[in-house]
Structure 1
Amino acid sequence: MAEELTFSALLQDRLAVFGDSGRFVFAGRDRGGGDDTVLDYAALDRKARAVALLLLERRLTGRSVLLSYPGAQDFLPAFIGCLFAGAVAVPTPLPDRSPDSLDRIARIAADAPDLGAVLTDDANAGFFGSWIRDGRLPRGVECLATDTAAESVPPAAELAEVGPDDVALLQYTSGSTSEPKGVRITQANLLHNHRDIVRHTGVGPESTGVGWLPYYHDMGLIGLLLTPFQHGFPCVVLDPMAFLKRPRRWLELITRHRATHTVAPNFGYELCLRRVGERDLDGLDLSSWRVALNGAEFVRAEVVDGFTERFGRVGFAPATFTPCYGMAETTLLVTCASPHREPTVVDADADALERDEFRPAPGSGGARRLVGCGAADSLDVRVVDADSGDPRSDGAVGEIWVRGPSVADGYSGRPSSTAETFHAYTGAGEGPFLRTGDLGFQRGGELFVTGRAKEVVVLNGRNLYPQDLEADVRRVLPDRACGTSAVFGTGPFGDDVVVVQEVRATALGETSLDEASRRIRSALAAAHRLTPARVVLVPFSQVPRTTSGKVRRGAARSLHDSGALSVLHAWSQGTSEPAARAGAVEA
């Protein structure tokens, strides 16, 4: 049989081939699995074709369709139905009725080109119907409840003819550094990246996946939900909120289903490390776990080491961790470490990194530990001087550029941003490349990511990476009292360093807020020769994060500069007394 040219064709083939054996398991609340929902490929195919027929009857081929569901169980058939109908799927979270959530959905709906319909379930159709009547969605948009759609689609019903260059998906970036933008991902992009993931991770017919990432996140959609189709292996899906409330549940499902493959950001493994203690290990058996993809944000060596040490006692092998690097603009995956090999961790001289070069640390002091993210399989990855486009030598820090079949078609409705980001050329005229905006270096063929160009704080000629500063801030506070950190530069020249740290004051014990602030300042002075301009302690849930857990430092800066943070305690350089906002909420 000829190799498929579109991801839609691959899905049609795999749903037929693995109709009786392939399945998704959507975990319920019963830890024993009594209320799990099983969706096999045959039923998934019927549901997807029913959605496709709804869209085809309304002539929505080529038009944007918003997908907003309570979870992946109803989303997945609707997404595949969009691909079968040739519609452009636009995954979005279900609004939680908060102003920020409603505003984000409204902005996505306004931005998506030629929006024709909103797909949701029957329970939420009334909400979106009221939005349409109130004019909050573009004129002519129809709301369709797909969970009540009839599944009796004639077997001979024709699906849309789609080509490799047709846009399959509009993936809105999570917006950790800027306004979310819709990335145009084609059928060919999806197909190529899917095959890259399969090759990199070594999944096969005997694999089992378990994950919790939301469907509207690129790693959740492409890394978790779509990866199983190549070989039709089972995939167990946990609701994201269930994981956040009780991270041990993820490990319980890995144990019960003998899972081999997972995918999650560093944040997920860190949350397990913080919330699943020594006394919680009884009953866990992680010996089946073969590949734990760790990406979507900066991979921290202390999380890799700490997770491996703690959960190694219940079968987690050091070679299971598989760091990777990618983004929505490359569909998902760019580079990936070799499975079944322990991650590469290097101790870099911190002073040299501030001068944009890697050198091994001379000793234990002044070292910054970096985790390698492997190499690309079929993409061209370069590290270049951001201004000239000239290549950087091995070990020299520069901007990471990527080109190849996984690189998306650009940003929807943003020609200038598309040209700036997707159409870069090297000093020798090679291109076009995607400018990732990330900084890193290559060493021995492996990519090491050092930070985000827009977030680096330049102070007295030194490049300070916020994730390093944030890690040192968190180390001086008790785990139970310490929430999310955000460090950023502000002021006229961007070199006034501000630390915003979430704290639970009741968990600080005998440590006062003033003492916690002093410890933060002392840690930054000792590790980085840095005195921040301001240290602000705030209650939990004040620091904005993306759906995958990335710190939204730009949004945190805006909240700080506008005075919108609820402040428990604040210290400013040049003042002798701490400041606190009147009526601040105690954590």
Structure 2
Amino acid sequence: MDLFNRLEVYARQFPDKLAYGFVEKEGGLSETLSYATLLEAVRAASGQLADICQPRARVIILLPAEAAFIKVFLGSLHAGLIAVPCPIGYSEPAIQRILNIIKDCEASLIITNQKSLKMLSQRQTEASRTLRALDIQWFFTDELSNDASKQTAKQPSAPDETAYLQYTSGSTGHPKGVMVSHANLTANLNAINNCFGRTAADTSVTWLPHYHDMGLVDGLLSPVFTGGTGLIISPILFITKPLLLLETISRHQAAVCGGPGFGLDHCVARIKPEQLETLDLSSLRVLYVGAEPVRIASLEKFAETMQVTGFKRESLVPAYGLAEATLAVSLHLHGTPMLFRPISETNAKMVVACGPPVEFTNVTIVEPELNSIQKDGEIGEIWVCNEGVALGYWENLAATNTTFKAFTACGKGPFLRTGDLGFLFDGQLFITGRKKELIIIRGTNYYPQDIEEVVNACHEHIQPHGTAAFSIETEQGEELMIVSEVRNNAQNEDDTDKIKTNIANSVGLAFGLVPRKIVLAGIGKLPKTSSGKIQRLKAREVFNTN
């Protein structure tokens, strides 16, 4: 059954059950949707949107974490439209990214609310003026209605038709919209939830951005796909008050939660030991960790710190996935011990297994230049084949053929080329880095996250998860450059020199490398994706200017 078939069944089985609750800063629920109310709202939104747009029209959704988002997202799919969830930001680059996405998918409609429109317009920048002047229709969720007369039957959509576009992270002028079909979504939701053992009895909590693949597919859609309850905390609220996430899990005895590793570090750093003593996290069966290379130190520190709450170390689920595969590719089996291995015989750095591939998934490790299949334990590019692999990139045949239609030297395929490096060992997938971000100096490979981890720990004023390491081209060949965000940015030359010296010494001792250039930047200056990952290649463009 697809998402809508399930929603209709659940609305009949338990109409008054809580489908979604939106958590406010004091821990209460500011908005709630029962299954019956949700189904009614989706049908009503579908009717309103169908009156405005033709089937398969692309509709931009610019909304914060609120009930209106799930109503119009599901309403768009119900009406046979192609939903395009976008990060909503108010800076010049953020609005420019919205404009680039609108242009790329030739959107017919922007869905937002009056408050967001006001904030998008208030700075009167070139980008905001361009947005307001676009020849495009606007729909404001302030006008959403549950009027039964507006409800319509579901617009027929073939399983292989595009349900929504998931734009890959970045702010370039040529964004790529991943075309996720209805069948892709159903297949990946099945795979995720069969692995997690999620049922209608489970409550899930998410703080992830709902326009990001992990936040959308698992954070928002998995709970209603399984008939459970989803509690939503806005990303900004989590960042400012991480205790709220753990309090919500404790109060509602939630079973599933997840996010990037920096979320674990944020909880450990910001929550006081005496606050943990009031919590009960024993119900948390699955705490998945993905969206960036998983640091063993983050897993171990979180498990140790949260032990007092009843949290079980075996609940940690290292995960690997990407938008081009809808979401999940491999998931550690919860309730089993995590597995660690060194990267290679010559690199003793330990990495954690992200589990076996999810059901009906073929993961093959391929030498990226020769396209030959690597042996067990050998590092190569991760290639994926399953029903969750998306249709391709919107109106971008060349990129689609390169990324989604790869064949091995022996003719196996087609595969999705992930651009990520890793290896398989005893059926477990280990992630070692990103192919395009691999630093190669004097014939030796270095993974940027290894260098960044050393830099982060070398001085107290360096912002956690605020360092980018990458290679730059010089007359002597490839050399290392490091950019670090600094808290209470160095006020004088002595402070700057001390921090740079610490960075250089730490990197030299750990890797035998001498950074060619070290730049200290203010907090927030490093370019990041919508999910908070640092964009190393973009950082190189921004900071390596001479």
The equivalent of 1:370 in structure 2 is 351
Pair 1:445 & 2:427 matched: yes
Deviates more, 1:471-480 or 1:429-438: 471-480
**One-letter amino acid of the structure 2 residue matched with residue 278 of structure 1:** P
Question: Of the candidates 243, 256, 267, which is equivalent to residue 272 of structure 1?
Answer: 267
Task: Give distance in 2, aligned partners of 1:450 and 1:559.
Answer: 26
Which residue in 2 is equivalent to 1:548? 531
| Per-residue CA distance 1:502-550 (angstroms, 9 max, x = gap) | 11247999x9332222121111111111111011122211112212121
Q: Does the aligned pair in 2 maintain the 1:177–1:554 contact within 8 Å?
A: no
**Which of 506, 516, 520 matches 1:523?**
506
CA 78–520 in structure 1, closer or farther in 2 if over 3 Å, else same:
same
Given that residues 456 and 462 in structure 2 are in contact (C-alpha distance below 8 angstroms), is that contact kept between their aligned partners in structure 1?
no
SS at 1:89's partner residue? strand
Task: Quote the Cα distance in structure 2 between the aligned partners of 1:156 and 1:312.
Answer: 49
**1:70 Cα deviation after fit:** 2.2
Counterparts in 2 of 1:165-176, with a 5 A limit? 165-175=160-170
Partner of 2:459: 477
Q: CA deviation at 1:142?
A: 1.1
Q: Name the aligned partner's letter for residue 381 of structure 1.
A: V
The Cα offsets for residues 291-340 of structure 1, whole Å up to 9 and x where unpaired, read as 00111111100000111111112211110100110000000000001011
TM-score (norm 1): 0.87
Residue number in structure 2 paired with 1:118: 110
Stretch moving more, 466-475 or 311-320: 311-320
Amino acid corresponding to residue 54 of structure 1 in structure 2 = Q
Q: How far apart, in 2, do the equivalents of 1:423 and 1:483 lie?
A: 34
Distance 1:176 1:321 in 2: 32
In the alignment, the residues of structure 1 paired with residue 295 and residue 247 of structure 2 have an alpha-carbon distance, to the nearest angstrom, of 24
What is the aligned counterpart of 1:193 among 188, 192, 204? 188
- Of residues 459-468 and 498-507 in structure 1, the stretch that sits farther from structure 2 once superposed is 498-507
CA distance 1:277–1:531, shift in 2 (3 Å): farther
Distance change >3 Å, CA 505–CA 20, structure 1 → 2: closer
Of the structure 1 ranges 306-315 and 116-125, higher mean CA displacement relative to structure 2 is found in: 116-125
Instruction: Give the alignment partner of residue 228 of structure 1, picking from 223, 229, 234.
Output: 223
Q: CA deviation at 1:29?
A: 2.0
Partner of 2:55: 61
- Say whether residues 1:260 and 2:242 are aligned partners: no
Match of 2:384 among 402, 411, 429: 402
The residue correspondences of 1:117-266 to structure 2 (distance < 5 A) are: 117-125=109-117, 136=131, 141-154=136-149, 157-175=152-170, 180-266=175-261
**Alpha carbons 1:439, 1:449 under 8 Å: kept:** yes
Contact 1:482 1:504 in 2 (8 A): no
Change (3 A) 1:479 1:16: farther
Cα deviations by residue, 1:95-130 (Å, 9 ceiling, x for unpaired): 32x1111101111111114x2211112433567899
Does the aligned pair in 1 maintain the 2:7–2:39 contact within 8 Å?
no
Partner of 2:516: 533
Q: Which amino acid aligns with 1:38?
A: T
Provide Cα deviations, 1:418-460, integer angstroms capped at 9, x if missing partner. 1111110011111110000000000110000000000001111
CA distances 1:375-426 after superposition (whole Å, capped 9, x unpaired) = 1121111001112221100110000000111000000121111111111001
Per mean C-alpha deviation after superposition, the further-off stretch among 371-380 and 450-459 is 371-380
Match of 1:455 among 419, 437, 444: 437
Provide the residue aligned with 1:584 in structure 2: none
CA 1:105–1:41 in structure 2 vs 1: closer, same or farther (change >3 Å)? same
Give the structure 2 partner of residue 581 of structure 1.
Answer: none
RMSD: 2.6
Q: Secondary structure at the match of 1:436?
A: strand
User: C-alpha separation between the residues in 2 aligned to 1:403 and 1:559?
Assistant: 35
Secondary structure of the corresponding residue to residue 423 of structure 2: strand
CA displacement at 1:499 relative to structure 2: 0.7
Residue 483 of structure 1 and its aligned partner are, at CA, apart by: 5.5
1:20 maps to: 16
- Structure 1 residue matching 2:395: 3-state secondary structure: coil
**CA offset at residue 231 of structure 1?**
2.7
1:100 to 93, 98, 101: 93
d(CA) in 1 for partners of 2:497, 2:376: 45
| The 10-residue stretch of structure 1 (288-297 or 535-544) with the greater mean CA deviation from structure 2 | 535-544
Q: 1:507 to 1:12 in 2, by over 3 A?
A: farther
Q: Which amino acid aligns with 2:446?
A: L
| Residue ranges of structure 2 left out of the alignment (5+ in a row) | none
Paired with 1:178 and 1:306, the residues of 2 have a C-alpha distance of: 39
Counterparts of 2:135 and 2:127, CA distance in 1: 8
Q: Which of 495-504 and 278-287 deviates more?
A: 278-287
1:432 to 405, 414, 429: 414
CA distance in 1: counterparts of 2:200 and 2:423, whole angstroms:
36
CA deviations on 1:457-494 (whole Å, 9 max, x unpaired) are 11111110000000011111227765500001112487
Work out whether residues 51 and 146 of structure 1, in 8 Å CA contact, stay in contact via their aligned partners in 2: no
Match for residue 84 of structure 1 among 71, 78, 81: 78
Q: 1:498 aligns with which of 481, 492, 500?
A: 481
User: Aligned letter for 1:167?
Assistant: T
| Whole-angstrom CA distance in 2 between matches of 1:147 and 1:492 | 55
Distance change >3 Å, CA 300–CA 62, structure 1 → 2: same
SS at match of 2:86: strand
Post-superposition shift, 1:162? 0.9
Distance, in Å, in 1 between the alignment partners of 2:151 and 2:236 is 40
Query: Contact between 1:109 and 1:137, CA under 8 Å: does it hold in 2?
Result: no
* Compared CA separation, residues 74 and 538, structure 1 to 2 (3 A): same
Aligned to 1:303: 298
Q: Is the 8 A contact 2:480 2:517 kept in 1?
A: yes
**Contact 1:132-1:141 within 8 A present in 2 as well:** no
2:169 & 2:38 partners in 1: Cα distance? Answer: 28
**Percent identity at matched positions?**
33
Alpha-carbon distance, 1:263 to partner: 1.8
Aligned pair in 2 of structure 1 residues 544, 243: CA closer, same or farther (>3 Å)? Answer: same
What's the offset of the Cα at 1:136? Answer: 3.7
Deviations 1:160-204 (A, max 9, x none): 111101100100011399953100000000000010011111111
Task: Determine the structure 2 residue equivalent to 1:568.
Answer: none
Separation in 2, partners of 1:133, 1:544: 20
